[in-house]
Every structure is written in C-alpha cells, then in structure tokens.
Amino acid sequence: MKGNIPLIYFLSIHKGYYIAEWPVYIVGDNISKLCFTVDIKEEITGQIPANQFAEEIIQYPELKKVFGVSQIVTRLYQRTFRERVLHAYNSQCSLCKLKHRELLDAAHITGDKEDLGDPIVQNGISLCKIHHAAFDRNIIGITPDYSVRVRKDILSETDGPMLKFGIQELNGHEIILPYDKNFYPDRRRLEVRFKQFLHAG
C-alpha cells in the first residue's frame, strides 16, 4: 500500500470461475478483520512514434492513420454482470441457442442509467450480438410472460434468411430461461420494457 504497487485482483464470479481486474491498488486495510480496500485506477500506456510509417505514408497517402486519446466512461461492473448472466443461461442465447461465448452479450432489460437498471442477473438476458441489437432497438420485444414479439413492420418485410429465420420466426416463441428460477428475468422490468417496445412499433 505504501509503495503504491499495482496488483492483479481476481474477482470470483461463480465457483471455479474468476475474472482478472488490473491494475488495482490497495488503499486501506484492517488487520484485525483481515480485510482490505481495493481501488481500480485507469492508466494510459503506449505511444505511437510520430514518424513510424513516414515512408509508407508518403508513398501511399491512403495508409495515413490519425490517432488520438479520448476519455470514456467504463462500466466497471460490466464484465462481472456479463459472466453471471451468461452462467445463469448456460452460456447460450436465450432466443436462438447460440453457444459461442465470444458472440454472446448480457443484455440489460432496464438500462443501467435508469432507476431499475441494477447490474443483477434478473435485469439481464443472455443474447447473441444480433438479437441484443434487435432487442435494444425494439425490433424484438419480450413480454412479462417470457414470449418473444417481433415488431409488425419487421414481420412484413422480405429480406434474406437471417431476417426470416433469425428474427421473424421468433415471433410468439418463448425464451430459454435460466437453470435457476431465482435468476428468471424480472417481470416488472420486462413489463416496462415491453411497453417501450409497443410504442416503438
């Protein structure tokens, strides 16, 4: 703590599974209770030499790249939220059963900036990236009874197989629910979200 030495903190998600957070710093301890306080700090590392590709840029102007440093707001809990939601849904999309974790997201029912936007499993649904985007944009909605609805204008569209089989045919189907009823999507949040879906149509 006195040396301000960065450490790696392994956060337990569920039994036998951890995610690493780094760099973290010890900012306080309580020896009598054998506990300590961890602070997560952001660092910007790495520099790009100004003339690293000067010769190539002169020869091929279209290769020129412009870099800048920007500050973004990061949801520090997001990795934990994602892992817990995916674990609850057995690492599959609750709409199409896709099991490739790299293509899965933990979609919020209620946005995290809203009053009921808590980062809890009951406020999340495991969705593949295509269905997550469709859910966020109210192309599909989920009723409080866990049934999928596709927006009317989308149902009437004619497009390729992804639209037909990946979205339109979901209409009226029930979502795949978590293995534990305690982790089922919160019906109150779904009701509020489904009303937004209906107004979007």
pLDDT in tens, 172-187: 999 999 999 999 999 9
Predicted pLDDT at 10: 72
Amino acid identity at 93 = C
Read off the pLDDT band of 116 (50, 70, 90). Answer: confident
Residue type, 169: E
The arithmetic mean of pLDDT across residues 146-165, rounded, is: 94
User: Which residue type does 122 have?
Assistant: Q
| Beta-sheet pairing, 124-128 with 104-108 | antiparallel
The confidence score (pLDDT) of residue 6 equals 79
| Pair 123, 189: CB distance under 8 Å | yes
Q: In this predicted model, what pLDDT tens digit does every residue of 21-71 receive, in sequence order?
A: 767 777 777 778 777 777 765 443 344 344 444 444 455 555 455 555 555
Full-model pTM: 0.66
DSSP string, 127-152: EEHHHHHHHHTTSEEE-TTSBEEE-H
Say how many C-beta atoms besides its own lie within 10 A of residue 51's C-beta.
7
Instruction: Give the pLDDT score at 98.
Output: 96
